[in-house]
Amino acid sequence: MILERIAVEVLGLKKYYKQVKAVDGVTFQVKRGEIFGMVGPNGSGKTTTIECIEGMRRQDEGQIRVLGLDPQMDFYELRERCGIQLQSANLPRRMRVGEALDLFASFYRQPRDWRPLLQGLQLADKERVYFSQLSGGQQQRLFVALALINNPEVVFLDELTTGLDPRARHQIWDLVREMREQGTTIFLTTHYMDEAERLCDRVAIIDQGQVIAMDSPTHLVGDLGMATRISFQVSNHSIPGKNGAQGESPVVFDPRQVGVLDGVQKVEQEGDLVTVFGNGEQLLSRVITTLETSGVRFQNLRTTQPNLEDVFLCLTGQTIAS
Amino acid sequence: MRGLWKLFTMQFKLYLREPLAFFFTLVYPTMLLLLFGFIYGNQPAPEFWGRNFGTVDASVPAYAGIIIGTVALMGIPIDTATSRETGILRRYRATPLRPAAYMIASVAVYLAIALAGMAILVIVGKVIFGLRIAGSWPSILAAFLVSAGAFFSLGYLIASLVPTARVAQVIGMVIFFPMMFLSGAGMPLQLLPETLQKVSEFLPLTYVVQLIQGLWFGDAWNTLWMPTIVLAGILLAGTALATHFFRWE
């Protein structure tokens, strides 16, 4: 059955606020068991889209099915089977972590045991701590725990690592991957391109309420046809040998040696700094092998891959931050 | 109604963890009673009360008005508006918890708090000042419930109409504090000049004090039809309006 493999289906979704089109005809499907990310700048319509899918907002036009259910008509049934982490939500200041989990567990037909969940989120020692005393990262992890307390089939995570330090972000990423291992479908939104790239099986790039690209991050970047950049410094000076003896004279770098390699598009040299533009999986090893065999001394080699940021820039002519 | 009991006990604990709310509902009325009880004693003063009751006997039912007023006009609007403003209600909406279950738990908690405040007051009055009651307990309890219901509905209505918790706090205080002194709840109406006594007729809390104090002194319901009708009317209209205007976000 094809239907069973689709977790979320959105067709022609539109949502207006007064005269502003927040979401302007969005269509996509999320397969069961995948991590699907909606990426775009702030104000692009991500949160409105996810909240319409969750049933938190009512769409003006279009159809939405989550696990075959209508988010408005089957509001409560959907909540039994989904986990929701909202971008802006809160708990009472003086509610303890353990109390929050205990309370939210009581809202569901079949809650899971929340103690192991707390353990997995490194919050086990915080059980008796008030919500207001948790750090931002800990609060966010608690909200993730609340979203998982009913063993959901689909989890919605809206901007879940915004404002977190790198360590906390990595912990949350590990957790999301773990959820997927256990067969949960994950729908997330983020304005961090690196997060989408590292975490998602598929991403939809959204801008001004419209999906402008949708594929796996590798394909999106690959389709861009942008070159990988390899840069390094060559040293053409002689290096003094031991005891003041005359050093070995260096081999002078000749750009043409690298330029003729398979996959290389162009080579630029500016003083000591050489940049090689090209494509293909073996690009890096070819360049290094050539340098080694010719005896050229090089250092500070680094490669820069095109990424989703470049995809966004190429599609919109803007960086995501602007 | 899954989650109802857990939510009730949780909200009850949260209320008690707010020092200000705890003080005003459970400590402040008893403090007043102790203060004025020790100053005036509880000797019957028919020349003042019109019958054989003392200051404490008259103050305990009057302070019921303070308790109901603080819970309804300070506690409910501030808590509810805060929960909405900060996104706590939104977080509940993302679960299968039914709105009706939330409302029942919420109302039940405030009622339990108000009854607890009243119980402490009665016990202290009884033990320390030999509090006298001429009316029947079921009648007094019924009057207390009607009064609380009427004022709670006003509290939820304020919560629904204000944009933020700050505004809720200001409005609650502006309505409650003058009313506390002009309704007979905080001090006997007999001590006020006549013009201010006229003003009291327009304050809903006056009818709470009239009804509960009247039943406390042993008056029959049919002599108290006026406050009963006023409070029942507020209860019905307030509930209808609060239900209509209530917002989750």
Which ipTM was obtained for this model?
A: 0.90
pLDDT of residue B45: 87
Q: Is the pLDDT of residue B33 over 80?
A: yes
Q: What is A3-224's CATH number, 1.10.150.240, 3.40.50.970, 3.40.50.300, 1.10.3720.10? A: 3.40.50.300
* Model confidence band, residue A4 (pLDDT cutoffs 50, 70, 90): low
pTM for the predicted model, two decimal places: 0.86
C-beta atoms of B87 and A89 within 8 A: yes
pLDDT of residue A1: 46
Q: Are strands A154-158 and A35-39 parallel, antiparallel or unpaired?
A: unpaired
* Model confidence band, residue B235 (pLDDT cutoffs 50, 70, 90): very high
pLDDT tens digits, B98-150: 999 999 999 999 999 999 999 999 999 999 999 999 999 999 999 999 999 99
Q: How many CB pairs under 8 A join A and B?
A: 62
Kindly list the distances between the CA atom of residue A222 and the CA atoms of A18, A117, B83, B215, in Å, as whole numbers in the listed order.
39, 38, 47, 83
Q: What distance in Å separates the CA atoms of residue B199 and residue B183, rounded to the nearest whole number?
A: 9
Average pLDDT over residues A271-296: 88
Q: How far is B93 from chain A (nearest CA, A)?
A: 8
Q: Is the pLDDT of residue A239 over 60?
A: no
The two structure tokens encoding residue A243: 């005891």
Q: What distance in Å separates the CA atoms of residue A214 and residue B196, rounded to the nearest whole number?
A: 72
**Phi, psi of A301, rounded to the nearest 5 degrees:** -75, 130
C-beta atoms of A90 and B3 within 8 A: no
Please, what's the b/e burial string for B31-52 (b: 16 or more CB within 10 A of its CB; e: otherwise)? ebbeebbeeeebeebeeebeee
Question: Helix H segments across chain A?
Answer: 46-54, 75-81, 97-105, 114-120, 136-148, 166-181, 193-199, 217-224, 255-259, 283-294, 308-316
C-beta atoms of A99 and B95 within 8 A: no
The share of chain B scoring above pLDDT 70, in percent, equals 100
**Phi, psi of B134, rounded to the nearest 5 degrees:** -95, -25
Hey, what long-range contacts does B16-24 have (CB within 8 A, 24 or more apart)? B17/A94, B18/A94, B21/B74, B21/B75, B21/B79, B24/B70, B24/B74
pLDDT tens digits, B68-112: 999 999 999 999 999 999 999 999 999 999 999 999 999 999 999
Per the prediction, chain A carries an average pLDDT of 89
Closest-CA residue of chain B to A149: B95
Average pLDDT over residues A169-187: 90
Q: Which helix (H) or strand (E) holds A155?
A: strand A154-158
Average pLDDT over residues A291-311: 87
C-beta atoms of A107 and B97 within 8 A: yes
C-beta atoms of A89 and B91 within 8 A: yes
For residues B14 and A94, is the Cβ–Cβ distance under 8 A?
yes
Which structural domain, as residue segments, surrounds residue B228?
Answer: 4-245
* Model confidence band, residue A240 (pLDDT cutoffs 50, 70, 90): low
Per the prediction, chain B carries an average pLDDT of 94
Average pLDDT over residues A110-114: 93
- For chain A, which residues make up each domain, given as ranges? 3-224, 228-305
Closest-CA residue of chain B to A56: B94
Q: Is the pLDDT of residue A237 over 80?
A: no
CATH topology of domain A228-305: Alpha-Beta Plaits (3.30.70)
Contacts of A69 in chain B (CB under 8 A): none
pLDDT of residue B52: 87
Q: Are strands A61-66 and A6-17 parallel, antiparallel or unpaired?
A: antiparallel
- Per the structure, the count of domains in chain B is 1
